[in-house]
Structure 1
Amino acid sequence: MGSSAEAPRGEPLGGQDDAELLGDDCPQLLRVDKILVPVEVIKPITLKAKNLPQPQSGQRGYECVLNIQGSEQRVPALRFNSSSVQCQNTSYSYEGMEINNLPVELTVVWNGHFSIDNPAQNKVHLYKCGAMRESCGLCLKADPDFECGWCQSQGQCTLRQHCPVHESQWLELSGANSKCTNPRITEIIPVTGPREGGTKVTIRGENLGLEFRDIASHVKVAGVECSPLVDGYIPAEQIVCEMGEAKPSQHAGFVEICVAVCRPEFMARSSQLYYFMTLTLSDLKPSRGPRSGGTQVTITGTNLNAGSNVVVMFGKQPCLFHRRSPSYIVCNTTSSDEVLEMKVTVQVDRAKIHQDLFFQYVEDPTIVRIEPEWSIVSGNTPIAVWGTHLDLIQNPQIRAKHGGKEHINLCEVLNATEMTCQAPALSLGPDHQSDLTERPEEFGFILDNVQSLLILNMTNFTYYPNPVFEAFSPSGILELKPGTPIILKGKNLIPPVAGGNVKLNYTVLIGEKPCTVTVSDVQLLCESPNLIGRHKVMVRLMGEHQGCRRASGPAPSWATGAFRKGINSGFLELPSWLAHIPQFLLPISLQISFFCI
């Protein structure tokens, strides 16, 4: 590669070592404006510097090293003097058309491996005019420093030297010929709106002007003037306009625009039609909710997906828009200072939809009692809850905060005064001592947006240790004589609840047959049923209340052993990998979870 210029003589530094160059004497590159290099164009790169050493006899000269997409490209460089160096004429390239501007690390070295400091972290920006600029408008929007333009004969964005010499074939932003022809509309959103107007219509496409004034007064939607909005305009790509009011005779039509002037080559019409719709309301559910808000209300009707903006009010209280479809609008109530019935109003853009619908704010729910006031660390034991207005709540949850972490489980409303919940499980660290009783820092309920019950001060809810079982034997085999009860040893099998004869309810199944279970704090005694052959063994654990629903969330897990009862002897066998399960999951099952059946 040849030199692009002959270097003037520099001022040698006598071959000084890097170690001798300190502080301001260090050779370094100075900050420069963005270094722009088009791909496949032979071009030098000139860099400003200071204190550049003059290579001495026997030393190698300067090189520029560019790391392009993981590949190193070395280019001979020429030191003009102590303050300037030039990477010599060469061309560069990179892969792909999805990147139009690729910053590349640049290093200048001398004598083979001594790097010149680059404290400003100057980079070379390789660029492709045609990358991601498939239309004239996108091309002329490019950074003017790139010197890209639109070559009409080739229909592509390129450098001027790559376009035929005819002046009329070349468009550039700074030139006299700078208006892109052939605008095109590719999408309009929405395609329906109320006749009263106010709908903000988004028009996307190509060559939609380069300045707002190009389209400021030349947009019509279905024959109705649509006023472009400065905030929504993206040069060449997008117009957002606000609809005027349609006449009764106007029902549907195309979107039509002119860019700067209304001549055929600067006009566009959409392929989609825009329709004027009449919106109606019919009902809402639920029609009542707590004064603290948080109720999700569904309002039904027709053509409710038309237009661009929805406002729902319950009296003076906004109902926050959530989603909609042609047949419904969903919103979430906000809090109200008053307990009364309020008229529902719905406005879509400038259309106010008239219908006599009402929503009633009522007093927030209260909780007067929960039972029991305990669970085990793994949670999921049933809790009965009594209170008032509980039927107003759509998504009731129970919560416990322990060790700074919040734990949540689900509840089910039975009626206005009762609901059942599954106690939240606590997440304890590996260093936790399994025999300790735990009290959460906070215990309460998440009842939509009701804040007063997040922390329930009336309860001292307690978590007792999980039941822990011992392995059957080192071999995992338990041999039994016919009719001998199965004894499962462990601890914490009965929670030490003060002042009560409270027990967890265990069910042990041999195959599909339950056995009669006797429970103490340290063992389960199971009277084996009259079976022969090999059978699975399963243990289920539930709280003190019968008939509670199974908590949703992770499915309860259980594991199996094998029990073989013969004429003379039998055995209960556990798989060998049981030893790898944490201790509190080592009962008669491969894995125990605590849930209701």
Structure 2
Amino acid sequence: MPISPNQGSTGGGTLVTITGTNLSNTSAVTFGNKSATSVTQVSPTQVTAVSPSGTGTVGVTVTTPGGTSNPVSFFYVGAPFKSSLGTTSGPLAGGNTITLNGTGLSTATSVSFGGVTATPTVDSDSSLSVTVPAGAAAGPVSVSVTTAGGTNNGLTYTYVDIPTVTSLTPTSGPTSGGTAVTITGTNLDTTDSVTFDGAAAPFAVINATTLSVVTPPGTAGAVDVVVTNPAGSDTAVGAFTYVAGPGI
């Protein structure tokens, strides 16, 4: 007598299908010593039932006027617990793969990012990987995991849009570096790096539209300035000019 699925939440509520013979006029389905919360006769060979709450492994039996069947095992699974995301932000377009760590993840069937679901790859009971779906808008969304034991949430993932650079002030400075430059643009609050002609520059995020940057040493001439965040990069071509000092 097969039962599908053969596992469900400790809180109950799992709809299971029981297939066998001589199931007409089923009067009861029990999970261990508890009756199913709902039983529906589908056909002489099939009934459905909603599991009650429980723990561990229990035997499921069907009772008809002809008697009670032998038990078939049903496994109660606890709700998952999520402890951390391997990566907490990424591009608005999605497509990046991240890890999720916790316990009770071996039966995970879906991961939701702000209501948009993705199918995970289960690596172990304590880890899974999932390709992040595209987001509706930049900003934080809740992350929930659904397993045979139920759904758990409590983690946050932040969608990030690609930065844009609109201006630099000032636009020139000495080749020795050390010039304080204000960069304005959009989506700058998640900036990972700023480079001048490929050289990393120290920076501070003021807000989503402003960065404060100190130029590294460089070679005389116009150079590209690149601002990067988890979603990608924007290049301001020839936006800053290094000026050589006077010589005598």
Task: Provide TM-score, normalisation by structure 2.
Answer: 0.52
From 322, 345, 352, the counterpart of 2:144 = 345
Q: Hey, what does 2:50 align to over in structure 1? A: 242
Higher helix share: 1
Shift of 1:229: 5.0
Structure 1 residues 278, 322: CA separation in 2 closer, same or farther (over 3 Å shift)?
Answer: closer
Q: Deviations over 1:100-129 (max 9, x none)?
A: xxxxxxxxxxxxxxxxxxxxxxxxxxxxxx
CA–CA separation in structure 1 for the residues paired with 2:44 and 2:102: 38
Q: Does the 8 A contact of 2:78 with 2:149 survive in 1? A: no
Structure 1 residues 193, 305: CA separation in 2 closer, same or farther (over 3 Å shift)?
Answer: farther
Shift of 1:287: 2.7
From 146, 152, 155, the counterpart of 1:357 = 155
Secondary structure of 2:134's aligned partner: coil
CA–CA separation in structure 2 for the residues paired with 1:329 and 1:207: 42
Secondary structure of 2:70's aligned partner: strand
Q: Hey, what does 1:511 align to over in structure 2? A: none
Q: Deviations over 1:439-477 (max 9, x none)?
A: xxxxxxxxxxx9xxxxxxxxxxxxxxxxxxxxxxxxxxx
Q: Deviations over 1:377-412 (max 9, x none)?
A: xxxxxxxxxxxxxxxxxxxxxxxxxxxxxxxxxxxx
Q: Hey, what does 1:253 align to over in structure 2? A: 58
Structure 2 counterpart of 1:336, which letter? Answer: G
Q: Hey, what does 2:101 align to over in structure 1? A: 300
Structure 2 counterpart of 1:223, which letter? Answer: N
Q: Deviations over 1:555-577 (max 9, x none)?
A: xxxxxxxxxxxxxxxxxxxxxxx
Q: Hey, what does 1:318 align to over in structure 2? A: 116
Q: Does the 8 A contact of 1:222 with 1:275 survive in 2? A: no
From 12, 19, 26, the counterpart of 1:204 = 19
Q: Does the 8 A contact of 1:225 with 1:244 survive in 2? A: yes
CA–CA separation in structure 1 for the residues paired with 2:86 and 2:19: 37
Q: Hey, what does 1:224 align to over in structure 2? A: 34
CA–CA separation in structure 2 for the residues paired with 1:229 and 1:294: 42
Q: Does the 8 A contact of 1:281 with 1:301 survive in 2? A: yes
Q: Does the 8 A contact of 2:78 with 2:150 survive in 1? A: no
Q: Does the 8 A contact of 2:77 with 2:148 survive in 1? A: no
Shift of 1:253: 1.4
CA–CA separation in structure 2 for the residues paired with 1:225 and 1:294: 45
Secondary structure of 2:116's aligned partner: strand
Q: Does the 8 A contact of 2:3 with 2:72 survive in 1? A: no
Task: Provide TM-score, normalisation by structure 1.
Answer: 0.24
Q: Does the 8 A contact of 1:290 with 1:365 survive in 2? A: no
Shift of 1:254: 0.3
Secondary structure of 1:292's aligned partner: coil
Structure 1 residues 240, 313: CA separation in 2 closer, same or farther (over 3 Å shift)?
Answer: same
Shift of 1:361: 0.9
Output aligned runs, 1:156-555, within 5 Å.
185=1, 187-209=2-24, 214-215=25-26, 217-226=27-36, 227-228=38-39, 233=42, 235-246=43-54, 250-259=55-64, 261=65, 265-306=66-107, 310=109, 312-314=111-113, 316-324=114-122, 326-348=125-147, 351-354=150-153, 356-364=154-162
CA–CA separation in structure 2 for the residues paired with 1:201 and 1:364: 46
CA–CA separation in structure 2 for the residues paired with 1:278 and 1:350: 4
| Larger relative contact order, structure 1 or 2 (CA cutoff 8 Å, min sep 6) | 2
Structure 2 counterpart of 1:339, which letter? Answer: A
CA–CA separation in structure 1 for the residues paired with 2:72 and 2:148: 24
Shift of 1:364: 4.7
Q: Does the 8 A contact of 1:221 with 1:254 survive in 2? A: yes
Q: Deviations over 1:117-156 (max 9, x none)?
A: xxxxxxxxxxxxxxxxxxxxxxxxxxxxxxxxxxxxxxxx
Structure 1 counterpart of 2:140, which letter? Answer: E
Shift of 1:320: 1.8
Shift of 1:251: 3.7
Unaligned runs of 5+ in 1: 1-184, 367-417, 419-449, 451-597
Structure 1 counterpart of 2:39, which letter? Answer: P
Higher strand share: 2
Q: Does the 8 A contact of 1:321 with 1:330 survive in 2? A: no
CA–CA separation in structure 2 for the residues paired with 1:225 and 1:257: 10
Secondary structure of 2:35's aligned partner: strand
CA–CA separation in structure 1 for the residues paired with 2:48 and 2:74: 17
Shift of 1:218: 1.4
CA–CA separation in structure 2 for the residues paired with 1:343 and 1:251: 30
Q: Does the 8 A contact of 1:285 with 1:297 survive in 2? A: yes
Output aligned runs, 1:50-129, within 5 Å.
none
Shift of 1:199: 1.9
Structure 1 residues 283, 190: CA separation in 2 closer, same or farther (over 3 Å shift)?
Answer: farther
CA–CA separation in structure 2 for the residues paired with 1:295 and 1:365: 18
Structure 2 counterpart of 1:299, which letter? Answer: L
CA–CA separation in structure 2 for the residues paired with 1:337 and 1:207: 51
Unaligned runs of 5+ in 2: 165-197, 199-230, 232-248
Q: Does the 8 A contact of 1:197 with 1:349 survive in 2? A: no
CA–CA separation in structure 2 for the residues paired with 1:229 and 1:293: 42
Shift of 1:268: 0.7
Shift of 1:196: 1.5
Secondary structure of 1:357's aligned partner: strand
Q: Does the 8 A contact of 1:255 with 1:274 survive in 2? A: no
Structure 1 residues 299, 229: CA separation in 2 closer, same or farther (over 3 Å shift)?
Answer: farther
Secondary structure of 1:245's aligned partner: coil
